[in-house]
Structure 1
Amino acid sequence: MLKILKSNFSPFMVQMYHFSSGIIVNKQLTKKMKHMILYKTNSNLYSLIQNCSFADTSSPIIADINYEKLKELINQNEVLIIDVRTKEELAATGVLPNSSNIPLDELSTAFELTPEIFLEKYYIPKPDKDQKIVFSCAKGIRSLKACHYVTDLGYKNVFNYTEGWFGWESHK
């Protein structure tokens, strides 16, 4: 997982080395390594705009999807939708069609479960690493956290429904 860096400087280049324990940043540039370009956002954070691979592997990309794309995936019945809101939120507002609930605070332990226990607890088969998974929440913030978590586990087809439940309801 890439970490967002803070700095008071204008846009700059840094070198990033990937190790199994994470990414280490080195501001002293050499010609031997590929560089990553960061840019300044409104909140003085720098975000990655050029993606380079490390050790010939690249991280899975989290795709943001909107209402129309989610409806298309639901109609094609080719995606697992996981709502990461709490059970209390679901009871108060409602649920997305064909979605399953795994609250965000349970997600880390849920994806560590064996397939048998996962099925027993959540009533859906544990997804394989190539299955399309859409994460949703109220507004798309917690679902993005869920996306990052599962991509770190090696899941490759991960989507964040950025509009969340409130966006879904606004289209009704």
Structure 2
Amino acid sequence: MFTQISSSLCKMLPQYKPYHFIYRNKRNTIPRVPPTAIRSLSTATEEPVPVPIIQYDKLVKCITANECLVVDVRSNEEVDKTGGIPKSINVPLKDIVATFSLSNEQFERKFQILKPSSTDLIVCYCYVGKRSIKACGKLIAMGYKHVMNYSSGWKN
């Protein structure tokens, strides 16, 4: 069984040969795969979505002119502890899909702002920029067309 798995993995990941899959012991024959192969395998069926990055000066202009919705995807505890960018809303990464799936009325009731349309600009940020890139990918998958990542994150 694991021979079939390792040969199918090798077909999907041609840079790895069957000897890259080492078995730990005879009872639990678990293939050991390099971490990069696992990452490649997990995205083998998904096309990576390029997410544009917004720079600090453009973000400030965007916020000042009320041209975008800024979404802080850190946990509520992190935001309570450190604060956030003015005029941003806090939607933890784990809740991003559920929150942006709310009806217009529910979204407005929860955040006291209009829910963005699929063509409005949404900027996501977090502490260093890793969670925000995931949030951007989820929003793009939901059909939002103008999503940007503030990759400098809150710490900058």
Range of TM-score over shorter length: 0.5 to 0.7
Specify which structure has the higher proportion of strand.
Answer: 1
CA distance in 2: counterparts of 1:116 and 1:60, whole angstroms:
30
| Structure 1 residues 101 and 153: CA distance shift in structure 2, 3 A | same
Q: Is the 8 A contact 1:61 1:156 kept in 2?
A: no
Per-residue CA distance 1:107-162 (angstroms, 9 max, x = gap): 11111111111111222211100000000111111111110001011100000000
1:7 — aligned with what?
13
RMSD: 2.3
Structure 1 residue 78 and structure 2 residue 84: aligned?
no
Rg larger in 1 or in 2? 2
1:142 — aligned with what?
131
User: Which runs of 5 or more residues in structure 1 are unaligned?
Assistant: 1-5, 11-42, 47-58, 168-172
What's the TM-score once normalised by structure 1's chain length?
Answer: 0.62
Structure 1 residue 114 and structure 2 residue 129: aligned?
no
Mapping for residues 89-108 of structure 1, pairs under 5 Å: 89-108=78-97
Could you tell me how far 1:75 is from its partner in structure 2? 2.5
Q: Is the 8 A contact 1:102 1:122 kept in 2?
A: no
Q: Percent identity?
A: 38
User: Across the two proteins, how many residue pairs are aligned to each other?
Assistant: 118
Tell me the SS of whatever aligns to 1:63. Answer: coil
